[in-house]
Chain A
């Protein structure tokens, strides 16, 4: 039993750990990319210009209505194909564009993450009380200062619980990328199952590893939330 998970040529411990490392890199790289995109989409859907607002709202509705696995398939397989078609059209002699699977995975996950993040951010933005901004203006703060000193800290506080949930979802969604190509934790497990023929044992271990990651994340998130709310007194 133990030798199955050991290091070295006979055990699968090192492969599974390598897979875990890919999973974590995938999630941690996607997070900032997805957040930035999410901010952009949220800004669009809060825009005063109807056309921009329609793009923002359309994007979130579309992405949230589609199964993640379908989006991943389309982005993962379609992006490379499309990119090369465009490149062949612009610069036929340039040759193939290198499109590494990791980048494709990050982009696909970030596109999904951004749609959900945009909704959380939009809700948080709209929850910022008008009075706080008026108060800032009353004491003579500039618009930029109001943004940095009032809006952003409040946004962080309001958005944190929602973002925490999205992070957990992202961590779990990385498993979907295994269906496509990346050697993440899930795929490493699948390969081990293919050879050892012990599906229950290995998938259970994979589940436990994901669970542990989520529990640790929850701990960190709870601390962050406490910190974000440190100025608040509970009623």
Chain B
């Protein structure tokens, strides 16, 4: 199976690891920091979460020293293109629209979207008719925002700079419905005090037109070499159980396969 290129890569990787002590390559990892449990800021001011841990592990595997850069979602792709960091690991869905700007690694987890409603809510159907005039919230610039805008044209759709702010407004009762990523929202309703207000509702949204092929690491289109190295490292950590160990710290299911 091993091609010449990947052999060469393996050699250079080994070399990089050997030389690592003297001079490790430094890369910058861009993430958002407002998307628990995938990426968030702790009271110590550190950016942590599943995305960040996976990112750091991948960095280790490719023999690089990685510095975490937090960047607001709005500017996260422009920031990559402007070289404020070298790759984005921030739970970003692989979509056709984004592929015009950046390239993606293989997905590092599968994802679906879901609806959240207040506990006492009687909404069961999620159609444009049913949500007519209702206030629907989502994070701006995300696939869930696209979904809300396109599927519910007659609803009052509100877009927030961060998921945290949307959740805050869900808890304070400004929103009738919130559309978002399944896993963070599951975390929100099950594990947070604020999320106690609310429950998941309806079927998971898995329409590939919105969810894409899953969640990937975004890179500048010209950085093919880095993309291949990250893909390979991703395969490695899947194979040797490191991924699973990180996964189990955050989730009860394997989010790589969603089973």
Q: Say if the two chains contact directly (CB < 8 Å).
A: yes
Q: Contact residues of A with B, CB < 8 Å?
A: 9-12, 14-15, 18, 76-77, 79-81, 83-84, 96-101, 179-181, 183, 191-195, 197, 199
Given contacts A80-B83, A81-B81, A183-B70, 9 further A-B contacts (CB under 8 A): A12-B43, A15-B43, A15-B45, A80-B81, A98-B83, A180-B74, A191-B41, A195-B41, A195-B43
In whole Å, how far is B225's beta carbon from the nearest beta carbon of chain A? 13
B72 proximal to A (CB < 8 A): yes
**Contact among B33, B75, B164, B165 for A76, CB-based, below 8 A:** B75
B120 proximal to A (CB < 8 A): no
Decide: A80 near B45, CB < 8 A? Known: A195-B40, A197-B193.
no
Decide: A181 near B75, CB < 8 A? Known: A195-B41, A197-B194.
yes
- Find out whether the CB atom of A181 lies under 8 angstroms from the CB atom of B72: yes
Decide: A9 near B43, CB < 8 A? Known: A191-B34, A194-B164, A199-B168.
yes
21 contacts between A and B (CB under 8 A): A9-B43, A9-B44, A18-B45, A77-B75, A77-B82, A79-B82, A80-B78, A80-B79, A81-B81, A84-B83, A99-B82, A101-B84, A179-B161, A180-B74, A181-B70, A181-B79, A183-B70, A191-B34, A194-B41, A195-B42, A195-B43
B162 proximal to A (CB < 8 A): yes
Q: Which residues of B contact A183 (CB under 8 A)?
A: 70
Closest to A192 in B: B43
CA distance A194 to B34 in the complex (A): 7
Q: Contact residues of B with A, CB < 8 Å?
A: 33-34, 40-45, 70-72, 74-75, 78-79, 81-84, 161-162, 164-165, 168, 171, 193-194
Q: Which residues of B contact A10 (CB under 8 A)?
A: 43
CA distance A77 to B84 in the complex (A): 10
Q: Which residues of A contact B193 (CB under 8 A)?
A: 197
Q: Which residues of A contact B165 (CB under 8 A)?
A: 194
Q: Which residues of B contact A179 (CB under 8 A)?
A: 72, 74, 161
Closest to A19 in B: B45
CA distance A194 to B45 in the complex (A): 13
CA distance A97 to B81 in the complex (A): 11
A-B pairs with beta carbons under 8 A, tally? 71
In whole Å, how far is B44's beta carbon from the nearest beta carbon of chain A? 5
- Find out whether the CB atom of B75 lies under 8 angstroms from the CB atom of A180: yes
- Find out whether the CB atom of A191 lies under 8 angstroms from the CB atom of B33: yes
Q: Which residues of A contact B79 (CB under 8 A)?
A: 77, 80, 181
Q: Which residues of A contact B74 (CB under 8 A)?
A: 179-180
Q: Which residues of B contact A99 (CB under 8 A)?
A: 82-84
- Find out whether the CB atom of B84 lies under 8 angstroms from the CB atom of A80: yes
- Counting chain A CB atoms within 10 Å of each CB, the highest count among B74, B83, B162, B164 belongs to B83
**Contact among B34, B72, B168 for A180, CB-based, below 8 A:** B72
**Contact among B40, B72, B82, B194 for A84, CB-based, below 8 A:** B82
In whole Å, how far is A37's beta carbon from the nearest beta carbon of chain B? 22
Q: Which residues of A contact B84 (CB under 8 A)?
A: 80, 99-101, 181
CA distance A183 to B47 in the complex (A): 12
**Contact among B71, B83, B162 for A97, CB-based, below 8 A:** B83
In whole Å, how far is B104's beta carbon from the nearest beta carbon of chain A? 19
In whole Å, how far is A7's beta carbon from the nearest beta carbon of chain B? 10
Q: Which residues of A contact B42 (CB under 8 A)?
A: 9, 195
- Find out whether the CB atom of B83 lies under 8 angstroms from the CB atom of A194: no
**Contact among B72, B78, B171 for A81, CB-based, below 8 A:** B78
- Find out whether the CB atom of A96 lies under 8 angstroms from the CB atom of B45: no
**Contact among A14, A77, A100, A180 for B45, CB-based, below 8 A:** A14
CA distance A88 to B83 in the complex (A): 12
Decide: A193 near B40, CB < 8 A? Known: A81-B78, A81-B82, A181-B71.
no
CA distance A181 to B84 in the complex (A): 11
